[in-house]
Amino acid sequence: SQQGEEDPQALSIQEGENATMNCSYKTSINNLQWYRQNSGRGLVHLILIRSNEREKHSGRLRVTLDTSKKSSSLLITASRAADTASYFCATGKLRGGSEKLVFGKGTKLTVNP
């Protein structure tokens, strides 16, 4: 079962535009993570944001977290063709007495040159 759900499922923009992806989750979290996956490859960690943080930056990436709405957003500014990938949010879920990361289904981003 999914904990986080990304929105939209697919997003197509022009190079230079900003891309915003959203993640909603159902139960309280300790941390939320964002990952990127190039086609046919493994996932790469982008950012971890803790439940007591509201915003975090890494280069052209900006992640916000609103625990009252149980949602997070990933903003990529000044997008490039190389940003074309799928982006996943991941949150913790109790499984067998311990917390494990559960991934959403992802947003497929296409940046057109």
> Where do contacts with another protein occur on this chain (CB under 8 A)?
1-2, 29-33, 35, 40-45, 48, 88, 90-92, 95-96, 98-106
Q: Would you list the DSSP string of 29-75?
A: -SEEEEEEE-TTS-EEEEEEEETT-SEEEETTEEEEEETTTTEEEEE
CB of 103 to another protein, least distance (A): 4
Which C-beta is closer to another protein: that of 84 or that of 86? 86
CB of 106 to another protein, least distance (A): 6
CB of 72 to another protein, least distance (A): 12
Which C-beta is closer to another protein: that of 18 or that of 26? 26
Peptide bond between residue 113 and the one before it cis (omega within 30 degrees of 0): no
> CA–CA separation, 36 vs 39, rounded Å?
10
Beta-carbon count within 10 A of 98 CB = 7
CB of 10 to another protein, least distance (A): 12
Which C-beta is closer to another protein: that of 70 or that of 78? 70
Is residue 81 within 8 A of residue 15, CB to CB? The reply is yes
